[in-house]
Amino acid sequence: MFISNAYAQTTGAADASLMGNLTTFVPLILMFVVMYFLMIRPQQKRAKEQKAMMDALARGDEVVTAGGILGKVSKVTDIYVTVEVSTGTEIVVQKSAITTLLPKGTLKGL
């Protein structure tokens, strides 16, 4: 008398619960896709461009370092770059410290 009857579920209810579970994950999947195209992909593209620029460094290129120092490349090795900041004054920086490659002729005083 106090125990209620237990009824088996029909197959239609199982399909509905599966669809309900799938729709709860759709916003999460959409958020990941948007995050990929707005954050991850542009960052990977920028890193690829930076690596190509570092590989293409050559003697005579005019560069800007991460510290804001402007100079002309006088020597390039695998890890380090020697930058001439004024006539007779050279500094050695890591390749990864070079942030921008300037157009030729930007630095007239060197």
Tell me the whole-structure pTM to 2 decimals. 0.65
Distance CA(75)–CA(83), nearest Å, equals 7
Residue 5 lies in a domain: no
Residue 109 — pLDDT band, cuts 50, 70, 90? low
- pLDDT confidence of residue 1: 64
Provide Rg for the chain, Cα atoms.
30
Residue 4 lies in a domain: no
Residue 110 lies in a domain: no
Which tens digits make up the pLDDT trace of 42-89?
Answer: 999 999 999 999 999 999 999 999 999 999 999 999 999 999 999 999
Residue 82 lies in a domain: yes
Which tens digits make up the pLDDT trace of 10-39?
Answer: 655 555 566 777 788 888 999 999 999 999
Total domains present in the chain? 2
Distance CA(74)–CA(59), nearest Å, equals 5
Residues 51 and 19 in one domain: yes
Range of the domain at 98: 58-102
Residue 2 lies in a domain: no
Residue 3 lies in a domain: no
Residue 45 lies in a domain: yes
